[in-house]
Structure 1
Amino acid sequence: MALIKSISGIRGTIGGKVDENLTPLDVVKFTSAFGAWLQNNRNKKDLTLVVGRDARISGSMVNSLVTATLQGLGIHVVDLGLSTTPTVEIMVPELHADGGIILTASHNPKQWNALKLLNEKGEFITGENGAEVLALAESEDFEYAEVDDLGQYETRDDAFDIHIQQILDLPMVDAEAIRSKKFKVVVDAVNSTGGIAIPQLLEKLGCEVVKLYCDPTGHFPHNPEPLKEHLGDICELVKKEKADLGVVVDPDVDRLALVDENGELFGEEYTLVAVADYLLRNKKGVTISNLSSSRAVRDVARNLDSEYFASAVGEVNVVTLMKEKNAVIGGEGNGGIIYPDLHYGRDSLVGVALFLTHLAKEDKTVSELRATYPSYFMGKKKIELTPDIDVDSLLTKMQNEYQNEEISTVDGVKIDFKDNWVHLRKSNTEPIIRIYTEAFSQKEADDLGDQMIAKIKSLI
């Protein structure tokens, strides 16, 4: 059991002891800290906050605690109920709210829940702001409203409609082209809120929808992280149904994985590749992903006379660089699509709409489209070190060892070789160096990781 207090939010397992897990008292404390911080930051007491949750089992309980605590601070609450991370992000500026809280532990198992914190733009608060919220929680320096000043509470049931309509209104989403293809799509939403939102979007786009694990009970039928080893059921069902496509989302619907008509995974890394390919064909510009994302994104951008830049790992870092470079598209290799013409947040719904538009216009099957992109394979390893080893110094030595190669030190050390790359990042919590590699074969990627481990050991 655990409680993780980070600058991006509060995440923990339900039950157990206070300050060791996400207990009711912890939920109240951190909600109070965020609400009080927003009141100080916005310099007013009568704020409006939007709250939404995924379908996990603890969601209703945590939601009750959060909304009542905000009311206790004198904050007006708009409760979206069952929602998605991108839907809450959309609704904060839509309702001219002062911020939002998303109750989801994303791809973590059912024991977990979390409070994800949004500013008035519907974007995750910065690291600096998050540190201030944590400090306020530690001091418990907040004051609740008196009885005549308690916050109001209202519910909204039109958030999915608003989110989907904004997607359909995007110039780069060609609903008619998609409808003309009459795609048959299987959806695995791991029994969370994607089971409501994704079929609703697909039906608006004229698709025939086959639902798999779309009942929002919060009882996840498999590990909710959309990785190959967890997705055997949808791969089989796509083949059985002779579907054109399989769509997989995580519990809060900000990660998108695709399955081709043969029941083969398109590759989570390639969700962004395909969407970037479509958008950059129509508007040359900048694409952003993080340093641990596939080189295929860079290849596609350069082939279309567009620029590519890599940010530090983390959605906030991707968004910051996207704004700085005025990017056309961005995201992360975990299937997170960030399309700034809609909003600055990972959004599986807009990812589905853009991908289907691309598929329809190319007049290819999903597997044929995948074959047009360079094939890379990724490896992930780690090396555990003794606590007395200076990890930063070790990474500097690695940087010096490969100084004649293309090096990035934005986030750890990334070394770009001609045919492959390696990204070395230190853990924030333990003496570990994480080693990400990518190459033209799985063996080459794994071998490169082993070579780096041997090199690091030789420098200790």
Structure 2
Amino acid sequence: MSLMISVSGIRGIVGNSLTPDVLTSFAQAFATWLRSEKSSTAERYPDAQPKIVIGRDTRPTGEVIAGIVGSTLALCGCRVVDIGVATTPTVEIATVKERADGGIIVTASHNPVEWNALKLLDSEGEFLNESELGELLRILDRRRFTLADWSHTGTVEKKKGYDDAHIRDILNLSCIYPEKIAACRYSVLVDAVEGAGSTVMPELCRRLGVGRVETISCEGSGIFPRNPEPIAAHLTATVDALRKTGCDFAIVVDPDVDRIALVCEDGSLFGEEYSLVACADYYLKHRPGPVVNNLSSSRALRDVAGKYGQECLSAKVGEANVIDLMKACGAVIGGEGNGGIILPELHFGRDALVGAALLIQAFTDWRERNSGNSALSGFRKSFPSYFMAKQKESFDGNREKLQSLFDDIAERHPDAKATMTDGMKLDFADEWVHVRPSNTEPVLRIYAEAGSVERAKSLAEQFAGELEAGSGGWR
């Protein structure tokens, strides 16, 4: 199994592709890269030692990996602030509040428990973009690391309190009204899949004004009771728990809490694609402006933006790519169709905590305007209706040959607008298909959207067949 290296992090299976040598090499390269960045910003950072925030999810391997990485950074002359178990967005916020030069999150997000990863942040608490990652990889390739002698080694300081700081920042947002939420007396089930959200998400709900908070898989053990990706096929136990508790809806997050999914009162899924759609529909009433998603996201966001006379733009898949486009166009909200919400008013990062706050507030606002309907499933039906099918095909092969195959397939569909900036996306009049190599797994992702479930599945299967027919060189 090869190491997965992208703007989404350095991911691998612990003890297989993610080894102590890999961890220490990337830590040394990151410290060296930060020193080169500091040399051009000496006025802002007069201290010669780079400051780096580290946080981790609850995976059993997380603590020892954070220890290895933190110690390596200290031996490179860095000051490390270890905030312990924390969500990915919390580490991003802590990096800014600490006025640090960078951050590292030890998490493999939605990957199974045997995986782990290093997600690298810059001084703004944002993922390295493709250019910055390229610079770091060149340092790694040369293996000319900047180390410290015995008298200039750094330190590792442990610090707590950032969960509370993150919650306070959310409650202080201009569009969040806990008193209105409290008046609804919601009962909510939280499923944190034993990850970093086990404590902070239930606490956020309480402080938002939720009347009753029930939990499932919120002990923080790091032993995931199911596949941790929050999609329908993995949430049967959550749906069962929702029915048993009689809660109004369920909030589900992945292990590092950068993605959110909702389960309606009747056990149906709100739809991960529609988390961003609902948040944007509510937020654009308060702050109009462009919105951004990625190429694999639903057209429903475009429809919502159009309702407010705003533009919807699509970036390559990957949080760093979405953020770059959001900054370029001045977007007021954005994210990815997998349940990742990015609100620049808070910070530039996918954040399931702010996503939960916006979704509960948006639902509350809708209830005020539709007093005859108080169910989350009714709220979901208020949005444009599209259906998506998602498939995976094993792929760990030649990307250049794969792109050549994409070109051949696109030529056979002249009725579609082809976008080749991230694999192949073909936009037809009433539907689309997007095929691309994953940034996080050795697979090829095939996403299709259409006006019905059956048509979306048929479209995905059609292009899986076209790929298979021309697969002589791409696997």
**Is TM more than 0.5 here?**
yes
Aligned counterparts of 2:7 and 2:241: Cα–Cα separation in 1: 40
Aligned to 1:52, the other structure's residue is in SS state strand
Q: For structure 1, list consecutive stretches of 5 or more residues without a partner in the other structure.
A: none
Select the residue among 280, 286, 298 that pairs with 1:282.
Answer: 286
Q: Which runs of 5+ in 2 are unaligned?
A: 43-47, 368-373
CA distance 1:94–1:406, change in 2 (3 Å): same
Helix, strand or coil: the match of 2:349? Answer: coil
Among 20, 25, 29, the alignment partner of 1:33 is: 29
Q: Which residue of 2 aligns with 1:370?
A: 380
Q: What is the rounded CA distance, in whole Å, between the counterparts of 2:424 and 2:257 in structure 1?
A: 31
Equivalent residues of 2:129, 2:321 under 8 A apart: no
Secondary structure in 1 matching 2:255 = coil
> What does residue 443 of structure 1 align with?
454
Q: Which one has more relative contact order, counting CA pairs under 8 Å at least 6 apart?
A: 2
Tell me the equivalent position of 1:125: 128
2:205 is the counterpart of 1:194: no
Of the three residues 106, 109, 112, the one matched with 2:109 is: 106
One-letter code aligned to 1:32: Q
C-alpha distance 301-74 of structure 1, shift in aligned 2 (>3 A):
same
| Deviation of the 1:212 alpha carbon | 0.5
2:170 counterpart of 1:167: yes
Query: Is residue 2:233 matched to residue 1:234?
Result: no
1:399 corresponds, among 387, 398, 410, to 410
- Distance in 1 between the 2:50 and 2:302 partners? 42
Secondary structure of residue in 2 paired with 1:65 = helix
Q: Return the offset for 1:178.
A: 1.2
- Structure 1 position 140 matched with structure 2 position 167: no
The alpha-carbon deviation at position 383 of structure 1 amounts to 7.2
Whether the 8 Å CA contact 1:70–1:151 is kept in 2: the answer is yes
**1:368 alignment partner AA:** G
Q: Aligned partners of 1:334, 1:150: CA distance in 2, in Å?
A: 41
* AA at the equivalent of 2:282: Y
Match for 2:359 among 338, 345, 355? 355
Of the three residues 389, 392, 403, the one matched with 1:379 is 389
The one of 231, 246, 249 equivalent to 2:250 is: 246
Q: Say whether residues 1:71 and 2:81 are aligned partners.
A: no
Aligned residue for 2:99? 96
1:417 counterpart (428, 432, 456): 428
Q: How many residue pairs align between the two structures? A: 456
Amino acid at match of 1:88: V
State the shift of 1:356 in Å. Answer: 0.8
**1:14 match:** 14
- Contact residue 243 and residue 261 of structure 1 kept, 8 A: yes
**Change in 2 beyond 3 A, CA 1:239/1:307:** same
What are the superposed Cα offsets for residues 331-366 of structure 1, whole Å, 9 maximum, x if unpaired? 111100011111111000000001111111111321
Q: Secondary structure at the residue paired with 1:378?
A: strand
Question: Which string of whole-angstrom CA distances, capped at 9 and with x for unpartnered residues, describes residues 371-392 of structure 1?
Answer: 1112222123467899799433
Equivalent pair of 2:418/2:424 in contact (CA under 8 Å): yes
The letter of the residue matching 1:110 is V
Deviations 1:176-231 (A, max 9, x none): 21122121110110111101110111111121210110011111111111111111
- Equivalent residue for 2:20? 24
- 1:345 aligns to what SS in structure 2? strand
Aligned-residue Cα RMSD (Å) equals 2.5
- SS of equivalent residue, structure 2 residue 347: coil
Taking a change above 3 Å as real, the CA distance of residues 384 and 162 of structure 1, as seen in their structure-2 partners, is closer
Higher mean C-alpha displacement, 273-282 vs 165-174: 273-282
1:169 Cα shift?
A: 0.6
Check conservation: 1:387, 1:431, Cα contact below 8 A. no
1:357 partner amino acid: Q
From 137, 156, 159, the counterpart of 1:156: 159
State the match for 1:85 in structure 2: 88
Q: Which residue, out of 334, 338, 341, partners 1:337?
A: 341
Separation of aligned partners in 2, 1:8 and 1:389? 21
Task: Work out the percentage of aligned pairs sharing the same amino acid.
Answer: 44
Answering whether residue 208 of structure 2 is matched by residue 205 of structure 1, we say yes
1:282 Cα shift? 2.9
| TM-superposed deviation, 1:370 | 0.5
